[in-house]
Structure 1
Amino acid sequence: MTTLKLKEYVGRRVRVLTDEGRTFEGECTDYTQPSDNDPEIASIGVVTEPGAGFAYELYENEIKSIEVID
């Protein structure tokens, strides 16, 4: 499996396509390294609705593609 270097996306606006065909677009607010996650897979948090009070946690193995958008 290719490492996506997810921590490089923190603070950026991103579009993520998952392996299930779902698209998440918003600010990448955080990164969790594998050793701090259960299961031990890296993940990012993406806020799609500012002010809603939550972020979607997307695991590296679920991400088909990720791109920075403006």
Structure 2
Amino acid sequence: MTDPDRNLNSAPDNSKLKKEVSAWLSFSAVLTAVWVVISILSGELVTFWPAIPIGIWGLIIVVSRIVAKPGNDS
């Protein structure tokens, strides 16, 4: 029989990932809000330029999680 506390302690610490994703989502929301305001003020939908910085940051988060060594919190 396995010890439940052992499983909890051996699980990888995802607090850093949660913080990174939370910051990314906040950043995405702000940029999207700016884009909406610009589109409203211009009277037409402008090109969705926030996709570039949002996508780059998201890609960095994904690649950093893939490349990160197990047990390393970076």
TM score, norm. by length of structure 2: 0.21
Q: Find the structure with the greater CA-based Rg.
A: 2
Q: Which is richer in helix?
A: 2
TM value normalised by structure 1: 0.22
